[in-house]
């Protein structure tokens, strides 16, 4: 099982140890972030929010590939915000990107600001996931969509991740949370990545 002190750093990197953990995570999450982006299907000129943007690699890929008109990231870790801001500094200078230090329960954007949002490996750490999901929905326009990526609850996950840090949920439980938060057309695709399957729950906001 992952040591609890490492797990807590994974949830919110801080200090010199957080710097190390953040850099390790930037490589460990490449595959799942790519999967999440592919499932989100970002269209040309769309505005995209990355909730728990971490190191910023996902947003940098979107900006570099020209798959979005504007990208924004929020993260509760100052370490991650610093890393992401350095990675996206050129795009930020052109007004094509923003990185902000904040919680996902208090997203500093107006209603309907974004066409799409993604949140990868952050669901476990939300004390009140209903509030975070409702806040994400608020900043999505009618017709917008969310891609929520996470490791679903199973015996292997429970053996690997300390329950004191990771609140694991089944795909059915996550879909219920999304529906309760006001999302529609919720469906989940589980990618069988060895002993750590990756679930992608895609949810939409119905047009007004």
Q: How far apart are the first and last CA of the chain?
A: 46
pLDDT of 195 reads 85
Q: Enter the pTM of the model.
A: 0.93
State the Cα–Cα distance between residues 58 and 110, nearest whole angstrom.
23
Pair type for strands 184-191 and 198-204 = antiparallel
Q: Which residues contact 129 (CB under 8 A, 6 or more apart)?
A: 123, 177
pLDDT, one tens digit per residue, over 35-55 is 999 999 999 899 999 999 989
> What percentage of the chain has pLDDT greater than the value 90?
75
Query: Where do the domains of the chain lie, and which CATH numbers do they carry?
Result: 4-204 (3.40.50.150)
CA dihedral 167→8→73→173, nearest 10 degrees, is 0
pLDDT at 6: 73
- Mean pLDDT of the 77-105 span: 94
């Amino acid at each position: 099982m992952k040591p609890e002190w490492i797990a807590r750093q994974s949830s919110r990197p801080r200090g010199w140890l957080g710097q190390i953990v953040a850099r390790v995570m930037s490589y460990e999450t490449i595959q799942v972030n790519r999967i999440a982006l592919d499932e989100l299907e970002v269209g040309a000129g769309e505005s995209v929010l990355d909730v728990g943007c971490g190191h910023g690699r996902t947003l940098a890929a979107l900006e570099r590939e020209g798959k979005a008109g504007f990208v924004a990231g929020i993260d509760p870790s100052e370490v991650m915000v610093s890393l992401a801001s350095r990675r996206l500094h050129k795009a930020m200078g052109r007004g094509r990107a923003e990185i902000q230090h904040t919680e996902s329960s208090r997203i500093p954007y107006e209603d309907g600001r974004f066409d799409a949002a993604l949140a990868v490996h952050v669901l476990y750490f939300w004390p009140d996931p209903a509030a975070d999901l409702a806040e994400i929905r608020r900043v999505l326009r009618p017709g917008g969509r969310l891609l929520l990526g996470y490791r679903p609850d199973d015996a292997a996950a429970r053996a690997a991740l300390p329950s004191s840090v990771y609140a694991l949920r089944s795909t059915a439980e996550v879909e219920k949370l999304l529906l309760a938060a006001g999302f529609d057309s919720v469906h989940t695709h589980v990618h069988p990545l060895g002993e750590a399957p990756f679930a992608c729950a895609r949810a939409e906001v119905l047009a007004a």
